[in-house]
Chain A
Amino acid sequence: QVQLVESGGGLVKPGGSLRLSCAASGFTFSDYYMSWIRQAPGKGLEWVSYISSSSSYTNYADSVKGRFTISRDNAKKSLYLQMNSLRAEDTAVYYCARRRVDTASDAFDIWGQGTMVTVSS
């Protein structure tokens, strides 16, 4: 079935780095834009970044621009988020999500289960 599975979360000190991965299955990964979205404990959802199907285009929230890098490997059906210079405010559950785009709509239709990132000394 269509599935996204994140991994790579954990506890990291402020200023540290972490790389998240998201493994896709059940659909043609290379056909879709993909995104990372996060949710701080007890808070709402925050879009982090997206990448186009061929990696030609990327976009980032201002809160992570210059610190986070999104990438993908279509041969491995995998999405990545390299997170550097981590701050306490980056503490959140990080979800990868498939972005379904057509002429009149644009939505995150498939989500992974999430991976927790905690930034603390």
Chain B
Amino acid sequence: DIQMTQSPSSLSASVGDRVTITCRASQSISSYLNWYQQKPGKAPKLLIYAASSLQSGVPSRFSGSGSGTDFTLTISSLQPEDFAAYCCQQSYSTPYTFGQGTKLEIK
């Protein structure tokens, strides 16, 4: 199975900050990497697919980059509604696996 490792596991930031979350795959997954946002008690929401493509309706302050084994999710200017959990997911091969998540909290 492909292991997905995210860092950091938690992050405190302020409104307006630029934040970056990292995801590393245990083997090359090309660009088959997706990012999701999840708020407490809610279903995950797709933000970024294919490593760098912005899902329709997602604000442009979200961006993704990377290929192979190393990927990043960047939020250019945090808004109050962005404080949530974020996780990556590889769709290169089954079993599809998710990172353990990064909890983004208000400083």
A residues touching B (Cβ–Cβ < 8 Å)?
A: 35, 44-47, 50, 59, 61-62, 95, 100, 104-109, 111-114
Which candidate, B10-18, B20-28, B45-53, B70-78, is the interface stretch facing chain A? B45-53
How many A-B pairs have beta carbons closer than 8 Å: the answer is 56
- Contact, CB under 8 Å: B98 / A46: yes
- Contact, CB under 8 Å: B44 / A45: yes
Given contacts A59-B94, A111-B43, A113-B43, whether A106 and B32 have CB atoms under 8 Å apart is yes
Interface size on B, residues (CB 8 A): 24
15 CB < 8 A contacts A-B: A44-B99, A45-B87, A46-B98, A47-B94, A59-B94, A62-B95, A104-B31, A105-B49, A105-B53, A105-B91, A106-B32, A107-B55, A107-B91, A109-B49, A113-B42
- Contact, CB under 8 Å: B43 / A114: yes
B1 to chain A, nearest CB (A): 8
B residues touching A (Cβ–Cβ < 8 Å)?
A: 31-32, 34, 36, 42-46, 49-50, 53, 55, 87, 89, 91, 94-101
B32 to chain A, nearest CB (A): 6
List residues of chain B with CB within 8 A of the CB of A46.
Answer: 98
